[in-house]
Structure formats: structure tokens, C-alpha cells
């Protein structure tokens, strides 16, 4: 299953035709940029133009060069900002207002790495060279500048970790097998 089919699979449980949903079209345009970047300059420029249009229209800045795994799903567009060096795993759900940012200096200089089956709540902020484990929920409004172990929930500002088992299982709808 390629990345576009995987993204479509994530939406199939909710809607008959994912192409009608702006969030799906946004991620699809990003995936097309990735696909054609080194293969066909004309198609790359066409999809890049469409993608840049969507970035402005939906106030969402996810650079085309971000490394994002299969099954990435934006549930609500708007105010989403990712640093170009962020690495995101499979089956990640993202709501509006999420910031995945870089810290330029200090012990945590760098960008986040997000694991598989992670839920990023509204207005959550993850900054610095931190690793977010698998099956993690970052609650709305949480500020994370530390490593988060797998099977946990982060709440609050500053973030506090609550441990559990398969915490994100109920939040990640129609996960893509990988």
C-alpha cells in the first residue's frame, strides 16, 4: 500500500469519498510533491503549486520535505506548523494548532521525532530534539520539550506524563498496517 492509498484508507471508515475532504486533499498534494520531486520536474512543479496554494488557503505549514510515514491524518486544518526536519511515524493524527518546532541552541537543540500511532491534540506544542514514543497521546494545549515514553499521555503546560497501555488505541481510527 503506497502512502496515498494509506491516507485514503484512514478516511474510508468515515466518508465514502475522501477526495471531498480538504484535509485529505492537502496531504495528497504533499505526497504528490514527494513522489514527483526527483522523477518529473513538470509534475513536481504542478503539484508544488497546488500544495503551496493549499498551505495558504488552509493556514497550514507542513513543508513538502518533512518525512511523514503512512497513514498521516489531519483531522482539522488551520494553524498547523511543522519544521522541515521533523520526522513523523505511521498512523499519526494531527488536530489544528499543532506546532512541531526546532530549538536552535542548548541541550535540546534540534527537532522532534514522532513515533507510530500518536495523537497530537489541538494547540499542542512539541519542540527541540525530543523523541515521542509509540501509542502516545499529546493532549490539547500540552507543551512538550522532553522525551515521552511509549504508551503514555502528556497533559498540561508544562507537560506531565501519565503512563498507560496502548493509550492511543481508541484515538487512532482505521490505523494502517505497516
The model's pLDDT over 52-71, given as tens digits with 9 standing for 90+, comes to 999 999 999 999 889 999 99
Percent of residues in the chain assigned helix, strand, coil, to nearest 5: 25, 25, 50
d(CA 28, CA 8): 9
Contact 51, 35 (CB under 8 A): no
Assigned domain for 128 exists: yes
Confidence check: pLDDT of 171 > 80: yes
CATH number of the domain bearing residue 20: 2.160.10.10
What was the pLDDT predicted at 65? 82
Q: Which residues are catalytic, by number?
A: 76
- For residue 154, the number of C-alpha atoms closer than 13 Å in the C-beta half-sphere is 29
- Residue 177 is assigned to a structural domain of this protein: no
Q: For the CA atoms of the chain, what is the radius of gyration?
A: 16
pLDDT digits (tens, 9 = 90+) for 104-128: 999 999 999 999 999 999 999 999 9
Give the pLDDT confidence of 39-57 residue by residue, as tens digits.
999 999 999 999 999 999 9
Residue 178 lies in a domain: no
Domain count, the chain: 1
Residue 170, in any domain of the structure:
no
Q: Do the domain assignments include residue 169?
A: no
Structural domain that includes position 65: 3-163
Strand 99-101 and strand 80-82: pairing?
A: parallel
As a whole number of angstroms, the distance between CA 10 and CA 174 comes to 5
Give me the long-range contacts of 136-142 (CB less than 8 A, separation at least 24).
136/167, 136/168, 137/167, 137/168, 137/171, 140/95
- Rounded mean pLDDT of 145-153? 96
Does 176 fall in a domain? no
Answer whether residue 31 shows pLDDT above 80. Answer: yes
Amino acid at each position: 500500500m503506497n502512502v496515498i492509498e494509506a491516507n485514503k484508507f484512514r478516511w474510508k471508515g468515515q466518508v465514502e469519498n475522501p477526495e471531498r475532504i480538504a484535509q485529505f486533499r492537502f496531504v495528497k498534494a504533499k505526497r504528490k510533491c514527494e513522489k514527483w520531486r526527483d522523477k518529473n520536474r513538470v509534475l513536481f512543479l504542478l503539484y508544488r503549486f497546488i500544495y503551496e496554494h493549499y498551505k495558504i488557503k488552509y493556514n497550514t505549514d507542513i513543508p513538502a520535505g518533512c518525512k511523514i510515514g503512512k497513514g498521516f491524518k489531519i483531522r482539522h486544518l488551520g494553524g498547523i506548523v511543522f519544521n522541515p526536519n521533523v520526522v513523523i511515524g505511521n498512523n499519526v493524527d494531527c488536530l489544528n494548532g499543532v506546532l512541531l518546532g526546532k530549538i536552535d541552541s542548548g541541550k535540546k537543540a534540534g527537532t522532534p521525532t514522532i513515533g507510530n500511532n500518536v495523537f497530537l491534540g489541538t494547540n499542542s506544542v512539541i519542540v527541540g530534539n525530543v523523541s515521542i514514543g509509540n501509542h502516545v497521546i499529546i493532549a490539547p494545549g500540552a507543551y512538550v520539550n522532553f522525551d515521552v515514553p511509549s504508551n503514555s499521555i502528556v497533559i498540561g503546560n508544562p507537560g506531565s506524563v501519565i503512563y498507560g497501555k496502548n493509550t492511543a488505541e481508541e484515538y487512532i481510527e482505521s490505523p494502517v498496517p505497516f
